[in-house]
Chains A and B, each alone.
Chain A
């Protein structure tokens, strides 16, 4: 039996992109936020800002 302790195995760092792709709820969040802001909210604001005909 060796007197030397086993070297600790460093956990492999998971790349940020991989973490994003492996997180369904983060994807869900950004997948709803982007169209909601860029399409719905922006679109509704434009319609709301159309002046009412006299």
Chain B
């Protein structure tokens, strides 16, 4: 049974109240717990709003349905981007930062009152931006490139949200300092916390870039500045726009390690190797922002190639390392759990009925095969010409952010609910299906958009039949088929998303209380789940299954990369 402990000894920490989690044995600061709950609830609300908007976008881009008129399409597209790419993800990431610092380190959270102020700022900013979008005169899409201009409160909302999030990140660093100073842990921080630290560092650069460019843009919308240079805007804005997705990468890789530990007792194969991979993220991952300017003539080829190729590939190396060490840690743990037959018994007998494990593994596979490989292709200056500004680009980032990050965060929710909200997940049979439903839909969205983009279907275009265009143009019929399949996939993903929200909200409101009695969990933790909060490796090289899986991945990577070079050679008229 969860117990409220006596106030933590030490004068500075006297006000903090802890409980001991009866499932993991972790000490949980009640103030941190409430903040995690608030941020997680806000995240789910914005996911619901942004998800509905995403479905409307997909149904409009499905040529046979073409649901919304153009004005509504661009309004909804703007709101979809802001709500899911920024608000859902960053609210959830702030919850992860508080969990990875205060809970995993057994520490009190730094300045909880300021953390609440940060939460209120984020909420006010997100609502303000949504109000601006729904008023209809801020349909500038997520990127809001000048000279398109939104209402002042569109930019102000984003700035206030960024300031709140930046304060939240500061509280994460403050909590690390407190935990170190009060000796709540020994040696190095756990790997999951180190991954969260990586996300926090990238978040500082991201949010600072956002503030640097959005403040003058806000003043421009007020008429106090006469002009915003579009190229300057693009460079600095993408410091926020793309790096915010790199926060996701670091955060969801941490979630993979965390769920591996919680569900099957997985430990990192090598703390040093995994931390070095995170270090490569810290050093180089933000440079991927330059992908978005590969077709801009104002930037030199040297700037583009140094950022997106030479140095960015070091961050890709980090992802490749995680792509080996995460499944490797899972295999090692399953073999330790007794599943030692052949190359794949560990995988066949994994807890596929546990939505946390299933969601994590699907996220791992789809992030690597879909989002990862396509990201490297898009980030190659020459190959980028094949798909720049086509719907391939949203296909790529739905592979990373939806199939990768969102699915991983959904998976993590199945343990946030019992461990933090202290409510057991309702409707476990439906919950088992949720990650598969959402995952299949997300994979379909990504692959069909990428296929349509390869055939030249433009992104952000309301009407690809080009009705009423002065110069008619027929896009390939295969592209129309792909957009229809994308619409169907979006319906499947939306069904998975609705199921997630219903289960999450239903559990918070009506789930069986776990703070009283000693009822077991619907999705039990592994007996060594507490390794999530420990430093230590399980060093082994006997990983035949992982080696086979990684070899398949490399083969796919190489084939797809060179197929695109072949494709480029056929359409590039420089002979």
What does the 1/0 interface line of A27-39 toward B look like (CB < 8 Å)? 1101110111011
Q: A48 — nearest CB in chain B belongs to which residue?
A: B232
Interface of A is mostly: helix
Task: Given A21-B275, A34-B284, A39-B286, answer yes or no on A44-B239 (Cβ-Cβ < 8 Å).
Answer: no
Looking at the complex, which one of B173, B236, B279, B303 makes contact with A21 (CB distance below 8 Å)? Answer: B279
Task: Given A31-B283, A34-B284, A50-B298, answer yes or no on A39-B201 (Cβ-Cβ < 8 Å).
Answer: no
A residues less than 8 Å from B236 (CB atoms)? 40, 44
B48 interface hit (Cβ, 8 Å): no
Interface contact A24-B176, CB-CB below 8 Å: yes
Interface contact B229-A38, CB-CB below 8 Å: no
In the assembled complex, the Cα of A35 lies from the Cα of B232 at a distance in Å of 16
Interface contact A44-B235, CB-CB below 8 Å: yes
B residues less than 8 Å from A31 (CB atoms)? 198, 201-202, 204-205, 282-283, 286
Q: A21 — nearest CB in chain B belongs to which residue?
A: B275
B422 interface hit (Cβ, 8 Å): no
In the assembled complex, the Cα of A43 lies from the Cα of B486 at a distance in Å of 36
A residues less than 8 Å from B229 (CB atoms)? 47
Which of A42, A43, A44, A50 has the most CB atoms of chain B within a 10 A radius of its CB?
A43
Interface contact A43-B282, CB-CB below 8 Å: no
In the assembled complex, the Cα of A28 lies from the Cα of B290 at a distance in Å of 21
A40-B235, A46-B303 given; name 6 further pairs at CB < 8 Å. A18-B188, A21-B188, A22-B188, A36-B205, A38-B311, A46-B299
Chain B interface residues toward A at CB < 8 A: 173, 176, 188-189, 194, 197-198, 200-202, 204-205, 208-209, 229, 231-232, 235-236, 239, 243, 272, 275-276, 279, 282-284, 286-287, 289-290, 293, 298-300, 303, 306-307, 311
Chain A interface residues toward B at CB < 8 A: 17-18, 20-22, 24-25, 27-28, 30-32, 34-36, 38-40, 42-44, 46-47, 50
A-B residue pairs in contact (CB < 8 Å), sample of 15: A22-B188, A25-B173, A27-B201, A28-B173, A30-B282, A31-B201, A31-B286, A34-B284, A35-B239, A35-B286, A39-B239, A40-B239, A43-B235, A43-B303, A47-B229
